[in-house]
Amino acid sequence: MAAEYTLSQLPNRSRRTIIALGLEGSANKLGVGIVRHTLQTPLDQHQNADNTRVANTVPIQVLAEAISRQQVEVLANIRHTYITPPGQGFLPKDTAVHHRQHILPLISQALAEAQVTPADIDAICFTKGPGMGGPLVSVAMVARTLALLWNRPLVGVNHCIGHIEMGRQITGATNPVVLYVSGGNTQVIAYAQNRYRIFGEALDIAVGNCLDRFARIINLPNDPSPGYNIEQYAKRGKQLIELPYTVKGMDVSFSGILSYIQTIAKVRFGSPDRATIAGCNFVEELPTDLTPEDLCFSLQETVFAMLVEITERAMAHIGSQEVLVVGGVGCNLRLQEMMGEMARQRQAKVFATDERFCIDNGIMIAHAGALAYQTGFTTPLKDSTVTQRFRTDDVTPLAVPTSNQVRRGSTKKHVTKPYRGGSSNDHIVAKLRKLSATKRDLVVAVSK
């Protein structure tokens, strides 16, 4: 990591404001966000530690301090969710179709709500990964097209880093242990040795995946989300049954508990086949008046207890007194309550956001991308592919943390083969090209 940055390569060298457009579509949530970052003063007016004016280069500490003190404004945060019928999940190909159908109206709506034009946008940020290949490709293709049509730089963003940076911005957490919990990821993260480190994670399926799949078994609606409906069912549960509890150091496993409780649900409330019934005598030992609400309550209490345990272990390991909960499952009030009780016993603090910023959204991609762009990072067009397994610890910081732990990231070169699948986006490219043929304002054109 360089000790200083060349002033001429930084977008804030002579101006205070950066406006970024963020596109998120790694799963069934399609988000478009617009953020404005405003420095107190342009970088060429900052002073070094010896009170001399910044010249041709900017020390890392000066840049980090300037970014940490800037004003961040959410100008637009638009989201549209692909919702399937009860008992069904969302397939990548169908989700990609949803994103292609809705992304242009969402971009138009975001620009109108933010009261900006394409000429005002400084950078176009998109989710590079992790996520489902088809949806990621659909959104990345639109980002590339806009970058070419508007002549703006691209910034590829790690989905998890977007959650973390947005959570830190909203809550003011300085040096937290991060619990990142969603439908696709379960990780305990902390900042150490100049990058985000994964201290623990799910060894098989994510906690959100576990909850979603059980919701399908008991036929809960997917609107607004399976996890939310499980949370509501759990509030009415009265009996806590013992379920498999699998914690290995700072790692967890959810496939066993899911198989166990699915078997109970099928035997008690479904039409089990012989293979399901065979060898499940343990179900007969459970209370006869067990309800689906009881199962939701038991599942939620057990998996959240596992998450609290590994989070507390990470806090003890690195000596942190803060917990930041991010990701879609982080909206769950019971998880926040259990984490809060653990933190209270440790005289620590818990930070979480509401559904506007906890659930996948475009503004977190715009914010994290703008932070990287402010350090001079951009993604070349040839590298603007997506990576389905883009790990959090594959992100290399561009600026050292300051006293309040400013952390900025860019992507390093990955050994994972980029996903390039799906070639059914040609009609969007053609539409965007036609709409922007004059390279004038796309605010009106994109909505037609």
The model's pLDDT over 254-287, given as tens digits with 9 standing for 90+, comes to 999 999 999 999 888 876 665 566 667 788 888 8
- Residue among 116, 136, 111 at smallest CA distance from 126: 136
Q: What is the pLDDT of residues 360-406, one digit of tens each?
A: 999 999 999 999 999 999 999 999 999 999 999 998 765 433 333 33
pLDDT at 258: 98
Name, in order, each residue with C-beta under 8 angstroms of 125's C-beta and a sequence gap of 6 or more.
20, 21, 22, 23, 143, 154, 155, 156, 157, 365, 366, 368, 369, 370, 373
For residue 27, the 8-state DSSP code is S
Partnered with residue 386 across adjacent β-strands are 419
Amino acid at 59: P
- Topology of domain 183-354 in CATH is Nucleotidyltransferase; domain 5 (3.30.420)
Indicate the pTM of the whole model: 0.87
Q: Is 231 annotated as a binding residue?
A: yes
Q: Is 255 annotated as a binding residue?
A: no
Average pLDDT, stretch 398-423? Answer: 36
pLDDT at 280: 74
Q: Is 182 annotated as a binding residue?
A: yes
pLDDT at 445: 28
Q: What is the pLDDT of residues 165-202, one digit of tens each?
A: 999 999 999 889 999 999 999 999 999 877 899 999 99
Q: Is 312 annotated as a binding residue?
A: no
Q: Is 284 annotated as a binding residue?
A: no
Q: Is 332 annotated as a binding residue?
A: yes
Amino acid at 79: R
CA 306 – CA 295 distance, rounded (Å): 17
Q: Is 37 annotated as a binding residue?
A: no
- Strands ordered across the beta sheet of 29-38: 71-81, 29-38, 17-24, 123-129, 154-158
- Return the residue matching tokens 């040609």: 426
Domain 4-167+360-445: give its CATH architecture. 2-Layer Sandwich (3.30)
231 falls in which pLDDT band (50, 70, 90)? very high
3-state secondary structure of 10: coil
For residue 305, the 8-state DSSP code is H
Q: What is the pLDDT of residues 61-83, one digit of tens each?
A: 888 889 989 999 999 999 999 99
pLDDT at 398: 54
pLDDT at 196: 92
Q: Looking at the chain, how many residues does it have?
A: 448
Q: Is 184 annotated as a binding residue?
A: yes
Q: What is the DSSP string of 308-377?
A: HHHHHHHHHHHT--EEEEESGGGG-HHHHHHHHHHHHHTT-EEEE--HHHHS--HHHHHHHHHHHHHTT-
Name, in order, each residue with C-beta under 8 angstroms of 345's C-beta and a sequence gap of 6 or more.
none
Give the chain's mean pLDDT.
Answer: 87
Higher pLDDT, 252 or 51: 252
Question: Do the domains spanning 4-167+360-445 and 183-354 agree at the CATH topology level?
Answer: yes
Q: Is 360 annotated as a binding residue?
A: yes
Q: Is 228 annotated as a binding residue?
A: no
Domains in the chain: boundaries: 4-167+360-445, 183-354
